[in-house]
Amino acid sequence: MQALVLAGGEGTRLRPLTLSVPKPVMPLAGRPFLTFMLDWLSEHGVEEAILSCGFLSDGVEKVLGHRHGSMTIEYVVESEPLGTAGPVRLAHDRGLLADRFLVLNGDALTDLDLTAEIAQHERTGAAATLALIAVDDTSSYGVVPTAADGRVEAFLEKSPGPAPTNRINAGAYVLEREVVVRIPPERAVSFEREVFPSMIGEGLYGYMAAGYWIDIGTPERYLEATYDLLADRVRSTLPPRDETGSLVGEGCITSGARIGPMSVLGRHCSVGDESVVERSVLLDDVRVGSECVVTGAVLAEGVRVEDGARVDEMAIVGAGATVASGSRVAAGTRIEPGVRVDAGARVR
Ligand code: GDD
Ligand code: MG
C-alpha cells in the first residue's frame, strides 16, 4: 500500500514554533512529529510514503531522509501551495500514484485502524472512504453526516451553526484513481470544499473510526498530544518515561532542579538549582537558570530563561529568545524567535 501525506501547510496556528521548524517535523515527545505517523502507516502495511511538501520542505527531507524502517519515502515539492487535493493531482501527473492509495493529513497523531478502513472500502466498492472520528467540539473541523450504510450525506467544512453530527473528518482517506480525475490540474484545490462535496452520492463513504486521534496544529493540542503520549493514552513506540512521567533527552543537566510531572526535555538542555519545570516542553539546547518556574509552557530550541524568571501556562517562547532574570512571561503569551524579554519585565 502507498500513502501520500499532506505536509505542506504553513502551520500558522503553531507560530512562533513553526517559524523555525516545519510542522511535520516539529519535535513531539522528543521525536520529529511525522515519525509517529510513519510508524502507524507502517503497522498498517504501507510500504511507500510520498510526502507532499511546500513550505520549508528542505527541512523535512533533511530530517526524515528517504527511508523509515522498511518504508521508502519520496518527496513531491510544490512551488505554490496546492491545497489538500492539488498535491494529489500533482503526484498523479508525475506518475507516482497507484490505482488505490491512502491520503493523510500530516498533522494528526492517531492510532485509528487503517486496516479496517481499507477492508470496509473494499467491501463497499467505494471510490473514496473517509475515516470519521467523534469529537466534542466540531467547529474547527469538517463535519460529515452519513447514512446507516456509511454513505456520506454532506461534507460541511468548518461551517457555522449547529452541527448535524459530532463525526468529523479525521483526514485519513482511501482513494481510487477515479477520484484523481475529479481534481482540476495545476491549481490549488481543496478536498474538503470542492472534491468531496461534489462526490456526495457518487461512491463517497465514511468509516466510523475508534481509538485515539488529535490534530496537533494548535499549541493547546500540541501540549495535549504530548501529555497523551507520555501517559500512553495513544499507542506509540516511545521509550520508557521516568517516575514523573517525563522524558529527558541525552546530555541534559538537571541535578538540583525538579523536572516533571509530564515534561519533555530535548537534547542538551540544562535546568539550574531550585528550578521547577512541570507539564512543559523544552526543545533542544534550552537553558533554564536557577530558581525559575516553567509550567505548561513550550520553550523552542536554544531558548534562555535566566535566574528567577517565570514562564506560565500556554506561553510559547520562540527559538533563541531570552527571558531575562526575574522577568515573567504570563499565561498564553507568544514570544517571537530571538526576542529578549528584559530583566524584571512582565509580558502578556
Ligand atoms: N502539500 C500541501 N499543500 N499540504 C497542505 C497544504 C498545501 O497547500 N495546505 C494544507 N496542507 C496540509 C497541512 O500541512 C495538514 O497536514 C493538512 O494538509 C490539513 O491542513 P490543515 O491546515 O491542518 O487543515 P485543518 O486542520 O484546518 O482541517 C483539515 O483537517 C481536519 C482534521 O484535523 C480538514 O481536512 C478538516 O476537514 C479536518 O476535519
Ligand atoms: Mg490540521
Q: Among 6-20, 150-164, 266-280, whose mean pLDDT is lowest?
A: 6-20
Evaluate if residue 160 carries a pLDDT over 80.
yes
Evaluate if residue 36 carries a pLDDT over 80.
yes
Q: Is 52 in the pocket of ligand 1 (CB under 6 A)?
A: yes
Smallest Cα–Cα separation from 128: which of 215, 86, 191? 191
Mean pLDDT for 41-64 is 90
Do 173 and 152 meet the contact criterion of CB atoms below 8 Å apart?
no
- Average pLDDT over all residues of the chain: 95
Evaluate if residue 257 carries a pLDDT over 90.
yes
Distance of CA 258 from the midpoint of ligand 2 (Å): 34
pLDDT tens-digit readout, 228-252? 999 999 999 899 999 999 999 999 9
As given in the structure block, the three cell numbers for residue 123 are 467491501
Q: Is 4 in the pocket of ligand 1 (CB under 6 A)?
A: no
Residue 93 makes CB contacts below 8 A (sequence gap 6+) with 185
Mean pLDDT for 289-310 is 97
- More confident position, 197 or 159: 197
pLDDT bucket at 311, cuts 50 / 70 / 90:
very high
Q: Is 55 in the pocket of ligand 1 (CB under 6 A)?
A: no
Per-residue model confidence (pLDDT) at position 200: 97
The model's pTM: 0.93
Do 52 and 60 meet the contact criterion of CB atoms below 8 Å apart?
no
d(CA 31, CA 264) in angstroms, rounded, equals 10
Per-residue model confidence (pLDDT) at position 21: 82
Distance of CA 68 from the midpoint of ligand 2 (Å): 23
Helix, strand or coil for residue 81?
Answer: coil
pLDDT bucket at 55, cuts 50 / 70 / 90:
low
Per-residue model confidence (pLDDT) at position 59: 80
Smallest Cα–Cα separation from 304: which of 294, 314, 289? 289
Do 215 and 105 meet the contact criterion of CB atoms below 8 Å apart?
yes
Q: Atom 39 in ligand 1: which residue has the minimum CA distance?
A: 141
Distance of CA 214 from the midpoint of ligand 1 (Å): 13
Per-residue model confidence (pLDDT) at position 167: 97
Percent of the chain at pLDDT exceeding 90: 87
Range 247-347 has CATH code 2.70.98.20: no
Strand 328-329 relative to strand 346-347: parallel, antiparallel, unpaired? parallel
Task: Please spell the DSSP secondary structure of 90-129, one letter per residue.
Answer: HHHHTT---SEEEEEETTEEE---HHHHHHHHHHHT-SEE
d(CA 247, CA 231) in angstroms, rounded, equals 11
Mean pLDDT for 315-326 is 96
Evaluate if residue 14 carries a pLDDT over 90.
no
Q: Is 158 a catalytic residue?
A: yes
pLDDT tens-digit readout, 288-297? 999 999 999 9
Q: Is 318 in the pocket of ligand 1 (CB under 6 A)?
A: no
Burial class of residue 334, CB neighbours in 10 A (0-12, 13-18, 19+): middle
Do 154 and 193 meet the contact criterion of CB atoms below 8 Å apart?
no
| Ligand 1 atom nearest residue 169's Cα | 39
Active-site residue among 158, 177, 187, 348?
A: 158
Where exactly are the structural domains of the chain?
2-230, 247-347
Q: Which CATH architecture has domain 2-230?
A: Alpha-Beta Complex (3.90)
- More confident position, 40 or 19: 40
Q: Among 77-81, 227-231, 321-325, whose mean pLDDT is lowest?
A: 77-81
Do 302 and 322 meet the contact criterion of CB atoms below 8 Å apart?
no
Smallest Cα–Cα separation from 209: which of 248, 173, 239, 245? 173
Mean pLDDT for 197-212 is 97
247-347: same fold as 2-230? Answer: no
